[in-house]
Amino acid sequence: MTARFPATRLRRPRATDWSRRMVRENHLSANDLIWPIFVREGKGVVEPVASMPGVNRLSVDEAVKAAKEAASLGIPCIALFPNTPSDKRDERGDEALNPDNLINTAMRAIKDAVPEIGLMADVALDPYTSHGQDGLVEDGVILNDETVGVLVQQAVVQAEAGADIIAPSDMMDGRVGAIRGELDKAGFQHVQIMAYSAKYASAFYGPFRDAVGSKGALKGDKKTYQMDPANRAEALREIEQDILEGADSVMVKPGMPYLDIVRDVKDTFGVPTYAYQVSGEYAMLMAAAQNGWLDQDAVMMESLLAFKRAGANGVLSYFAPMAAKLLQG
Ligand SMILES: NCc1[nH]cc(CCC(=O)O)c1CC(=O)O
Ligand SMILES: [Mg+2]
């Protein structure tokens, strides 16, 4: 307890910049950022995503350039997502297992050119299925165990292509343990798993589905596997399961509307905890900034710092390169 006013004046340490810096409780650095990058076919292609101003789909050679930029900005890790051409999507998402698919090709090229950056690979079938669901579908039901059987293969193929972190975003039960077992069997004990553990069935993913081309394809919703936004206690059960199954780190997604969950997770488990500032969060801040309604740099930095204050060890954010540049001064 501090003494009461007027002995205590909480404005006193706020009066100058030097003093504010002394009492600052949380800090953002480039080390806190993971940059999600969309990969597409072609060469020399930088294709803007309409609903995400400033974000592009990159051909593999351009993704290599982006990885170089990320490394030079001090960003420790990038996360790759493919925009699979529609003729390579099918009912079962077989392209996910192709060692030469977009993601695996990009990872090999980036590992070769920028070995010092961490590579995160998304495990889920939605960028590869004709129906846009994250798993196998039978009579309208998303099959759990059968899907896990495919995801473990997808993870091993990604590890073979150079993935440092396998990040299952599918929300099937039991996939973390199954992936851990299969990675170990294949000799990839050193490959980490970052589990999208508390992933909600959110309307904030819209622009991402646009970016990877699954928006028009998606039939129905994802409410039978992604979490109900109304639930809090359930998130801790999801996180606990994934830790017990061998996740090295866990994630809460979306980010800004779910900072209470980030705090719960960090306080309860103390494990490396990440948050995903998703496409819709990025889109709404950028849209307001482009209208002159918000200061883009200021809201970007404030929103990223808020994740740190909530207890996150890091943030997946489309702002990563812009924020890292600003942090460099
Ligand atoms: N496996 C799907 C996946 N992986 C990351 C995102 C969303 C990321 C974002 O919105 O930025 C999604 C979308 C979804 O679940 O439909
Ligand atoms: Mg789970």
- Cα angle 207, 71, 306; round to 5: 55
Q: How many domains does the chain have?
A: 1
Structural domain for 58, as ranges? 28-328
238 in a known ligand binding site: yes
Whether residue 3 is contained in a domain is answered as: no
pLDDT in tens, the chain (329 residues): 778 999 999 999 999 999 999 999 999 999 999 999 999 999 999 999 999 999 999 999 999 999 999 999 999 999 999 999 999 999 999 999 999 999 999 999 999 999 999 999 999 999 999 999 999 999 999 999 999 999 999 999 999 999 999 999 999 999 999 999 999 999 999 999 999 999 999 999 999 999 998 877 788 899 999 999 999 999 999 999 999 999 999 999 999 999 999 999 999 999 999 999 999 999 999 999 999 999 999 999 999 999 999 999 999 999 999 999 999 98
Q: Which atom of ligand 1 is nearest to the CA of 204?
A: 10
- Contact predicate 8/18, CB 8 Å: no
Give the CATH number of the domain where residue 322 resides.
Answer: 3.20.20.70
Ligand 1 pocket, CB under 6 A: 122, 124, 126, 134, 169-170, 205, 208-209, 222, 278-279
Radius of gyration, alpha carbons of the chain: 20
Whether residue 1 is contained in a domain is answered as: no
CA 175 to chain centre: 17
How close is the Cα of 253 to the center of ligand 1, in Å? 9
Whether residue 221 is contained in a domain is answered as: yes
Q: Is the ipTM of this complex over 0.95?
A: yes
Using a CB cutoff of 5 Å, list residues around ligand 2, an ion. 238
Q: Which atom of ligand 1 is nearest to the CA of 316?
A: 11
How close is the Cα of 265 to the center of ligand 2, in Å? 14
Q: What is the DSSP string of 110-135?
A: HHHH-TTSEEEEEE-STTTBTT--SS
Global pTM value: 0.97
Whether residue 17 is contained in a domain is answered as: no
What is the rounded distance in angstroms from the CA atom of residue 153 to the CA atom of residue 276? 25
Whether residue 235 is contained in a domain is answered as: yes
Whether residue 16 is contained in a domain is answered as: no
Ligand 1 pocket: which of 131, 209, 285 to mutate (most atoms within 8 A of CB)? 209
